[in-house]
Amino acid sequence: MDASLSRAIDRFLGYLRVERRYSPSTLDNYARALAKLIAYAERIGIGQWNELRSSQLQALVAEQHRSGLAPASLGLFLSSCRSFFRYLARDGEVKVNPAVGVRSPKVPRKLPKVLDADEMSALLEFPTDDVDAVHDRAMLELLYSSALRVAEIVSLRWRDLDAGEGMLRVTGKGSKTRIVPVGQQALDALEILRVQDQAGDDDLILRARNGRPLSTQGVRTRLKRRARDQGVWQRVYPHLLRHSCASHLLESSGNLRAVQELLGHADIGTTQIYTHLDFQHLAKVYDAAHPRAKRRTK
């Protein structure tokens, strides 16, 4: 491996870790993407990053696409490359960013799945007659109430919750903090959990049976088991509750900006996908109810 090429990547990953405070999983994604880039650069005889041209990078993207890499993965690869060369340009190591203008195959727009209100009720309304049920009820209510990511909920401590105001301080992607509301049923479930666990302000809200922190995989496993017990047989996962919360709020309020703030999206364009879900709901209601929308039967 060319030392000068690898040193630049190491500096960049250090910058993301220390200054940008990226999560370990995000850093792993960048490292994997740039490992592909450096392997390609060495294969075509590139000795310095300022020698790489856009046409060569486009050829790499085409090569990976032919090998079966999905458009979404290619998009993430190019995003990592753009960030890397932008970092090098800032330090004067390259004059132009060769990743700018390089295209990846178009990613088909995939709408998120959601549970409707009745399905959410079926999932959430179970008796809290044992220790695990109390824990799971609080976990599910909080995921749905505040549209949390699974990585966010496992890091929450009781000091982050202001039960009197019904507000929660959440640390999201890029260590950005936002304040989100918590619904009354979630607050009630959390109060029962806190009494049961005899938890202090510095304790994690979610803990495993042995008292240790609950992992993200632990949340997924418990949610899947609870859904099965409640007779919800479709695939249920933490982000499904986040999608459902966002969709239900937008359907009821029409306030896209408020939903963006709740979700912690930096770009409102990311939030706009839920408007497509709302339109699908409207279209179904229209097709079923409007007298001029009904199709003629042959």
Asked about 281 being catalytic, the answer comes back as no
The active-site residue out of 65, 207, 224, 239 is 239
Residue 241 lies in a domain: yes
Does 274 lie in the same domain as 190? yes
Residue 224, exposed/middle/buried by CB under 10 A (0-12, 13-18, 19+)? middle
Structural domain range at position 131: 117-286
The active-site residue out of 30, 87, 144, 274 is 274
Of residues 156, 93, 140, 110, the one with CA closest to residue 244: 140
Does 252 lie in the same domain as 128? yes
Query: pTM higher than 0.75 for the full model?
Result: no
The CATH number of the domain holding residue 11 is 1.10.150.130
Asked about 242 being catalytic, the answer comes back as yes
**Encoding tokens for residue 271?**
């939030």
The CATH number of the domain holding residue 199 is 1.10.443.10
Does 220 lie in the same domain as 275? yes
Asked about 144 being catalytic, the answer comes back as no
* Residues paired with 180 in a beta bridge: 168
The active-site residue out of 36, 173, 178, 281 is 173
The active-site residue out of 135, 137, 222, 242 is 242
Residue 76 lies in a domain: yes
Give me the phi and psi of 196, to 5 degrees please: -60, -45
Asked about 248 being catalytic, the answer comes back as no
Asked about 276 being catalytic, the answer comes back as no
The active-site residue out of 135, 137, 149, 222 is 149
Q: Which residues contact 34 (CB under 8 A, 6 or more apart)?
A: 9, 12, 13, 80, 81, 84
Does 172 lie in the same domain as 67? no
The active-site residue out of 65, 157, 265, 281 is 265
Considering its fold, how many domains does the chain have in total? Answer: 2
Q: Which helix (H) or strand (E) holds 45?
A: none
**Would you write out the chain's pLDDT as a tens digit for each of its 298 residues?**
457 789 999 999 999 999 988 888 889 999 999 999 999 999 999 989 999 999 999 999 999 988 888 888 888 999 999 999 999 999 889 998 999 888 877 766 666 788 888 889 999 999 999 999 999 999 999 999 888 999 999 999 999 999 999 999 999 887 888 888 899 999 999 999 999 999 999 999 999 988 899 999 999 999 999 999 998 888 999 999 988 888 888 777 777 777 777 877 777 666 666 666 555 554 554 466 545 455 554 4
Does 121 lie in the same domain as 252? yes
Asked about 265 being catalytic, the answer comes back as yes
Does 126 lie in the same domain as 67? no
| DSSP structure string for 105-133 | PPPPP-PPP---HHHHHHHH-----SHHH
